[in-house]
Structure 1
Amino acid sequence: MDGTLSYALLVFTSFFTLINPLGTMPIFMTMTKDLDVANRTKTARKATIVAFFTIVAFAFSGQLLFSFFGISVNSFRVVGGIIFFLMGMDMLQARLARVKVQDEEVKSYVNDISITPLAIPMICGPGAMTNAIVMMEDADTTIKKVALIAVIAGVMLLTYIILFSSSKIIKLLGETGNTVMMRLMGLIVMVIAVEFFFSGLGPILQGIFPQ
């Protein structure tokens, strides 16, 4: 039982650190600031549900999928870095702030951003996918497998609560505060993107040009 408890604690700390919902919250706030509370809540709920099922799917079949398609985690990091960089550039130039979502486009907008980029690759990124595969391989008993799924669900619930609470923060910041925060977060996202890109590109180049 102690082994299962320590395993569950390891799963929680690793997933919470990799998913980093506190870091995702400012970006979520920026992308949903023109939505009402109901649609913002719907976006957070859908993003966390999609991320949960994606992580669980990778936990059970990720290694098989990677092998079948010949995909490496480093390739995921490179693509994720490119997506983050483009999104960060838009945020830095405050382009997202000038996009007013029309009432008839709200449903489509919520569906789009809740899946990409919020669920994938922000919540369920390369690190979370890889961690799911590794943790499933370490789960040598049925109890540990159940604990893995339960802890992932718990982290997703915590992520949803954090994103849901952003509605109150948006009201406190106001229009100017949101614009300033978006530009600042855009710069941070671009830095993260560069780290993502080169952390994936380095091993790929080493494999192509071995020393």
Structure 2
Amino acid sequence: MTEKFIRDALILWTTIDPIGTLAIFSAITARMTSSERKRTAIKAIFYASVILVCSVVVGQLLLSAMGIRLISLQLAGGLILFLFGLKMIFGDMNKDVKTGEESGHDIAVFPLAVPSIATPGAIMAVILLTDNHVYPIPVQAVTTLIMLGVMAITFLLMLAAGPIIRVIGNNGSAILVKVMGMILAALSIEFVMEALKVAQWMGGDPIT
């Protein structure tokens, strides 16, 4: 059982990706004050944690009841992430951050909580790692605690974004936005390609 928990920790660390989240957070909050950045980090971690805990509790039942396959969730998440990556590359993220509250868009929800922290991979991982047909409740509870531990580390890294931004400056943050946009776009393509490969394996239809 110890090996399972170690494996769970590695999988959750990889899918939640605290380091990648730090880079994205630093890029899109570069023009915020320290207090605004901290408040955004708290909200993003809270929302993402609620999403992942709900995925543990009812995710499997909800997807089954709605007839939605996990692979469909991954494909949708990949497409959404790709669109946001394009926006980071060709748009003005600093303007979006400044006007986010007026337009009703909270960046703590999108893109930080979803899909940067609670990624499609993370949602699928917590559902699979707490499969109701395989693992008893106590084991699922430990896996959930491991997930929350990874979220706590992610939050601490997000709090370190301030010193990073002070070092790289406004020009550096603008460059970071474009670079992270390219990385997000590439990551989204990986999500889509993996979903298509799984769909091919499940359906047997050739996908090129």
TM-score by length of 2: 0.87
2:127 is the counterpart of 1:130: no
- For residue 108 of structure 1, report the CA deviation from its aligned partner: 5.0
Equivalent position of 2:28 in the other structure: 31
Amino acid in structure 1 at the alignment position of 2:120: P
Structure 1 distance, partners of 2:22, 2:152, is: 14
2:60 is the counterpart of 1:66: no
Structure 2 distance, partners of 1:115, 1:185, is: 18
2:88–2:178 Cα contact (<8 Å) kept: yes
Of 3, 21, 46, 1:6 maps to: 3
2:40–2:108 Cα contact (<8 Å) kept: yes
Structure 2 distance, partners of 1:192, 1:156, is: 21
Q: RMSD over aligned Cα, in angstroms?
A: 2.3
Considering fraction of residues, name the structure with more helix.
1
How many residue pairs end up in the alignment?
A: 204
Identity of matched residues, %: 27
Of 147, 172, 175, 1:177 maps to: 172
Structure 2 distance, partners of 1:12, 1:107, is: 38
Amino acid in structure 2 at the alignment position of 1:185: M
> Which 5+ residue runs of structure 2 have no aligned equivalent?
none
Equivalent position of 2:196 in the other structure: 201
Structure 1 distance, partners of 2:103, 2:141, is: 35
2:52 is the counterpart of 1:55: yes
Q: Kindly provide the CA deviation profile for residues 79-135 of structure 1, in whole angstroms up to 9, marking residues without a partner as x.
A: 212221121112222521344615x937955xx211122111221122111211222
SS at match of 2:22: helix
Structure 2 distance, partners of 1:152, 1:125, is: 13
Structure 1 distance, partners of 2:205, 2:90, is: 40
Amino acid in structure 2 at the alignment position of 1:48: I
Equivalent position of 1:105 in the other structure: 101
Amino acid in structure 1 at the alignment position of 2:135: A
2:79 is the counterpart of 1:85: no
TM-score by length of 1: 0.86
